[in-house]
Amino acid sequence: MKLTDKIALVTGAGKGIGRAIAEGFASQGAIVVVNDLPNSPDAPDTVAAISAKGGQAVFFGGDVSKTAEIDALFERIKNTFGRLDVLVNNAGITGWGTVWDTSEEMFDAVMNTNLKGTFFCSVAAARLMRHPNNGGSIINISTKAASLGIKNLSAYAASKGGIHALTKQFAVELAPHNIRVNTFGPGAINVERNLHDDPDYATHWGAVIPMGRTGQPEEMVGPAIFLASNDSSFVTGQLFYADGGWSVQGRLPENSLDAQLKSNEGK
């Protein structure tokens, strides 16, 4: 039980990776504030699943792309619990589109949810963590797509690249308050959304990942618990990927590689 009695907020925890992290935190003894859009049909299910296993969770709705709703969310946390120990900035939208057809509306929606939401949730969380609390951990969820150029995700990658910069800025500025700020980036994960968009998602995307498969949402829980718990008590300002090796893979012409191996045979 690495998170006993910690108050942990996970944004966008109605489904997908956020839900897995919320359930994982509760299984480690945290009291979890499950956030999602106010009208989310899924967030109550996350709370029910946690309760069914004997964990503690509440659903506090709020759209993290809007600062007024962020303020209301954190005011509610302050009034209910008086403190916050862990924030996971998980809520995110992808906004697929080529550079030619990404509209201003889509660009703004992606930036507002992913980057602006992370910025203002982090500031609001830090206010609760620094006083009367004595520190805390902020965990941002990025993506492999922000580390390499891939097609049709420019706005998304830019928003997550902004999060990489924020991670360092916030880590340094909040370190005197004993607030740690780190980021990890999932690779291709079998969430409902991806499986809906492409029923053969696991086969198609698994083929380009060194480990030969896509990840499960539950495989994002361990990294989040590490960053939330005292196991990472001296870790701040860091970024890593949980992606089966996808982010470090270079492309090689396989035929040429084979030819070079053959030419070395017997040497």
Ligand X SMILES: NC(=O)c1ccc[n+]([C@@H]2O[C@H](COP(=O)([O-])OP(=O)(O)OC[C@H]3O[C@@H](n4cnc5c(N)ncnc54)[C@H](O)[C@@H]3O)[C@@H](O)[C@H]2O)c1
Positions touching ligand X (CB under 6 A) are: 11-12, 14-18, 35-37, 40, 42, 63-65, 90-93, 113, 141, 143, 186, 188-189, 191-194
Residue (66 or 177) nearer to ligand X, CB? 66
Instruction: Look up 156 and say whether it is catalytic.
Output: yes
- Size (the chain), residues: 267
Q: Using only C-alpha atoms, what is the Rg of the chain?
A: 20
Closest approach of ligand X to the CB of residue 250, in Å? 20
Contact between 161 and 144 (Cβ < 8 Å): no
Phi/psi at 98 (nearest 5 deg)? -70, 170
CA atoms within 13 Å, Cβ hemisphere of 112: 14
Integer CA distances (angstroms), 221 to 129, 215, 216, 231, 242, in order: 22, 11, 10, 14, 10
Question: How does 36-64 read in b/e, with b if 16+ C-beta sit within 10 Å?
Answer: bbeebebbeebbebbeeeebebbbbbbbb
Residue (35 or 102) nearer to ligand X, CB? 35
Roughly how many angstroms between the first and final C-alpha of the chain, as a whole number? 56
Closest approach of ligand X to the CB of residue 36, in Å? 5
Question: What amino acid occupies position 113?
Answer: T
Closest approach of ligand X to the CB of residue 146, in Å? 9
Residue (27 or 35) nearer to ligand X, CB? 35
Contact between 61 and 36 (Cβ < 8 Å): yes
- Among candidate residues 156, 170, 184, 205, the one labeled active-site is 156
Residue (175 or 202) nearer to ligand X, CB? 202
Residue (133 or 139) nearer to ligand X, CB? 139
Token readout for 251 is 């492309």
Which residues have a catalytic role annotated? 156
